[in-house]
Amino acid sequence: MSAGGFRCLAVALAALMLSACASLKPAAPQSEVVNASSEHLTGRISVQVPATLSSKAQGGAASFELWGTAERGQLELSSPLGSLIARARWQPGEVLLQVPGEDRQYDTLDSLTQGLLGEAIPVAALFDWLAGRAWPGAAAVPLPQQGFEQLGWRVDTSLLGEGLIKAVKLGEPATSLRIKLQSSP
State in Å, rounded, how far the first CA of the chain is from the last one.
Answer: 48
Residue 13 is predicted with a pLDDT of: 36
Put the strands of the sheet holding 84-91 in their side by side order: 102-106, 94-99, 84-91, 73-78, 58-68, 39-49, 176-181, 164-169, 153-156, 147-150, 140-142
Per-domain residue ranges for the chain?
A: 3-181
In this structure, which amino acid lies at residue 95? V
pLDDT tens track, the chain, 185 positions: 444 443 433 444 344 344 444 676 766 666 555 554 567 889 998 888 888 777 788 778 889 898 888 888 888 889 888 888 888 898 988 999 988 888 999 988 888 877 766 677 888 898 899 899 999 999 999 998 899 999 999 999 999 999 999 999 998 878 899 999 986 44
- For domain 3-181, the question of CATH label 2.50.20 is answered with yes
Mapping DSSP onto H, E and C, the string for the chain reads CCHHHHHHHHHHHHHHHHHHHCCCCCCCCCCCCCCCCCEEEEEEEEEEECCCCCCCCEEEEEEEEEEECCCCEEEEEECCCCCEEEEEEEECCEEEEEECCEEEEECCHHHHHHHHHCCCCCHHHHHHHCCCCCCCCCCEEECCCCEEEECCEEEECCCHHHCEEEEEECCCCCCEEEEEECCCC
What is the pLDDT, as a whole number, of residue 80? Answer: 85
Give pLDDT, residue 149: 97
